[in-house]
Amino acid sequence: MVQETTSAAAVPDAKLPSWCEDLKRRYLRGESSQFVLHGNVHDVVLHEGKLHSATEFLSEVLFARTKDTVVLYNVSTGVRFAKRKAGATGLDDLVGQRDPAKVLPLLERALTTNDRIAVVLEYADTIAPAGDTSFSTQDDRAAVVTLHRWSLLRTLERSDSVIVLVVENLSDLHPKVVSNPRVATVRVPMPNKEERELVVRFADPSLAAADVERLAEITAGLKSIQLTSILTPAESGDDDEDRARYVTDLLAAGASADAQTTARAQKLASITKGMSRDEIKKLIAPDGVAPARSEDSRAEIDRLVAARKREIIERECFGLIEFVESKHGFEVVGGLEEVKRELGVIAENMREGRRARCPMGMLFTGPMGTGKTFVAEAFAKESGLTTIKLKNFRSKWVGATEGNLERILNVVQAIGQVLVIIDEGDRAFGGGDGDGDGGTSSRVIGRIKEFMSDTGNRGRVLFILMTNRPDKLDIDIKRAGRLDRKIPFLYAQTVDEVERIFRAQFRKAKVACDLPSPIDPAITSAVLGYSNADIEAIVLSAAEQACALRGQDAVLGAADLATAVGDYLPSRDVAMIEYMELLAVFEASNRRMLPKKYADLSIDELQARLALRKAECGNRR
């Protein structure tokens, strides 16, 4: 067989993925003959009308034309050959071997006695797992040392051989391998919009160009393999027919299904392949009511694809994130007029794509019960951004926390135009030296800082960090360029603010009321200094009492509200609340968002009051 070149790959008739071009370029430059491929390595690659797994693409496309022998190995299937040169030395002994302790020495002999060999080690973290060397087994230590030595072998360079270690998370691979300057790391990114368009067109060639572009846009954050599973029409079978009948029943809601309903059912059944009946019902008829028929099925398909996207990504991240679908905007947020005005401008800039005017992140800070989470969710609806919340991604297992974080950040970056809400930010990213957890906290904070300060994410990824104790946050995460806007949330300071909060709570709880405007000052002044949560509790209590006295259709009156205010006992810790208020004021980006009593304070006065309260409350939670 005539070889075309001695390079890592030469595929002149089709475009290579960006990660593959990167690997090829770095190999040709002589930067390294050993690579770690990480990131989206369990996806498929569309090339010349065929889908390949990452290792198949390496062996069948990238290395097939330029290497005499291509060896694939993982601890489950053992050694196998994608290509094998007749008469090559030492290859027979590799056949059927699975144990790394036996395979690695045999591979080394083959690499040093033959030319033009490509070795692909799948699931490399099972061969050289991360962890403290003192707790590793003898075989694990030997594997780490072997892989490290290979990177230093000049024989590999002279023989035009290459080694590729494939791992999803770099943190799962032993640091001695990852940090080796002779080992090059290549990240496989999530598919970009252009790649998604190609996959969508491959999955359903019948789609119009506009539909391809639209689906590629709304499926940002999905892998190519997930895209094909959603969009590829299901093959006819008993399960498919049963699912189609079930979907038809949901759409028809007991009536006879006409041709249009049947056609809709067939399409929706194709998209929901692989889902249980409960999951299908939750997507199509969550309230047990058949969705209204639409003359244009595009919106229905888009809604279902978006729902499948959320379900797939949440499952992909193992419950580390959740999508937020806010049902309220600023119309039910009482008070905080300057805050809403500021956020409204940011939302408009995000929607209109004015990325240079968008902050990298925002810090919502203030005492508990001031509505930080509620306003963040309202902002999510106003901005129209895909919104996710981070759950607890920390793990007791070594390296798992960093791996979880990396998986989350990869998804966030792939989705784009995304709002990331982090509640209890001081607990998630609090400062500390990390000695008590083996340095995990410092590594997590460092990675978050790096991601948040990446200017390429401006206008695409917006972080909202919420806390009532910003003094517990690592100081460097609060700087401009990471959390550009610090927005204070304080308790109502005037009767006008209390009035607006009451009115907003009536709208939110859908409480029918007959109250004068303005509300009796005796009522509003009585709750000055109460939190928004306290006022909400008062409204609900007043409504409950009115219904108990006059029936379920009772209209709430001033007397009901006054009784509820007099009966309510708020939980009060005056010193801690003032300390949290002073912290919020101290962190605020500008004075115009502060009430007069704080806006007129000099920096020296503010610091003096803060120091006094810190001495009393600083070490409390």
Instruction: Give per-residue pLDDT as tens, 210-245.
Output: 888 888 888 888 888 888 877 775 454 446 677 777
pLDDT at 457: 84
Model pLDDT, residue 3: 36
In which band, very low, low, confident or very high, does the pLDDT at 6 lie, cut at 50, 70 and 90?
very low
Q: What end-to-end distance do the CA atoms of the chain give, in Å?
A: 72
Whether domain 322-488 has CATH 3.40.47.10: the reply is no
State the sign of the Cα–Cα–Cα–Cα dihedral 367, 369, 374, 379.
negative
Per-residue pLDDT tens digits for 558-592: 888 999 988 888 877 788 888 888 888 888 888 88
Residue 393's pLDDT band (cuts 50, 70, 90):
low
> Quick one: pLDDT band at residue 57, thresholds 50, 70, 90?
very high
Helix axes 298-316, 277-284, angle to 10 degrees: 130
Do 18-188 and 322-488 fold alike per CATH?
Answer: yes
Measure the CA dihedral 497/503/504/507, to 10°: 180
pTM score of the predicted model? 0.66
List, for residues 160-175, the tens digit of each pLDDT value.
899 999 999 888 899 8
Instruction: Identify the band that residue 124 occupies on the pLDDT scale cut at 50, 70 and 90.
Output: very high
Mean pLDDT value across residues 426-435 = 60
Residue 120 has pLDDT above 80, yes or no: yes
Domain ranges within the chain, ordered by starting residue: 18-188, 192-224, 233-316, 322-488, 492-621
Q: What angle do CA 560, 561, 563 make, to 5 degrees?
A: 65
Q: What is the pLDDT of residue 20?
A: 92
Spatial separation of the C-alpha atoms in residues 11 and 172, rounded to whole Å: 32
What is the rounded average pLDDT of the residues 496-512?
87
Is the pLDDT assigned to residue 531 strictly greater than 90? no
Q: How many CB atoms lie within 10 A of CB 299?
A: 10
Per the CB < 8 A criterion, the answer to whether 419 and 388 are in contact is yes
What CATH superfamily classification does 18-188 receive? P-loop containing nucleotide triphosphate hydrolases (3.40.50.300)
- pLDDT for 72: 95
Mean pLDDT, residues 586-608 taken together: 85
Question: Is residue 4's pLDDT more than 60?
Answer: no
For 237, list phi and psi in degrees, rounded to 5: -170, 170
Give the per-residue SS3 of 133-160.
HHHCCHHHHHHHHHHHHHHHCHHHHHCC
Residue 243, C-beta contacts closer than 8 angstroms, at least 6 positions apart: 234, 269, 272, 273, 280
pLDDT at 83: 92
Q: How confident is the model at residue 288 (pLDDT cuts 50, 70, 90)?
A: low
